[in-house]
Amino acid sequence: DQQVKQNSPSLSVQEGRISILNCDYTNSMFDYFLWYKKYPAEGPTFLISISSIKDKNEDGRFTVFLNKSAKHLSLHIVPSQPGDSAVYFCAASRYTNAGKSTFGDGTTLTVKP
């Protein structure tokens, strides 16, 4: 039973438009959520995170929204740039549990010039 799901394997958007990546989770014990970005042949790199005590966190062009009642979070990228083309992983963890994260399967974002 997959605890973290990213139901869209891929997403294509035009440069300058908004990209919205979605993530659902089933385990109500998760209290910390992270987004990682991964380019081919590289390791994932941290992008942005949100604690369960918040419903929004913003960092430049990136905003993460958390809806605890729906067990859903989303990553908004505005405006999207070609350099944002990568695989985006949603991850969830229990803050006190050694930081072990459960990852979704990823969404491949393609931003077209």
In the complex, the residues that contact another protein under the rule CB under 8 A are: 4, 6, 9, 32, 34, 36, 41-46, 49, 89, 95, 98-106
The C-alpha atoms of residue 54 and residue 32 are separated, in whole angstroms, by 10
d(CA 91, CA 86): 16
On whether the CB atoms of residues 93 and 30 are closer than 8 A, the answer is yes
Min separation Cβ 15 and another protein, Å = 26
CB of 90 to another protein, least distance (A): 8
Q: How far is the CB of 16 from another protein (least distance, A)?
A: 28
Which residue's CB is nearer to another protein, number 79 or number 103?
103
Joined together, the tokens standing for residue 7 give 């139901």
- Whichever of 12 and 51 has its CB closer to another protein, that residue is 51
Calpha distance 84→67 (Å, rounded): 24
Using the minimum distance from each CB to another protein, give the nearer residue, 74 or 108. Answer: 108
Give the pair of three-digit tokens for residue 24: 């659902």
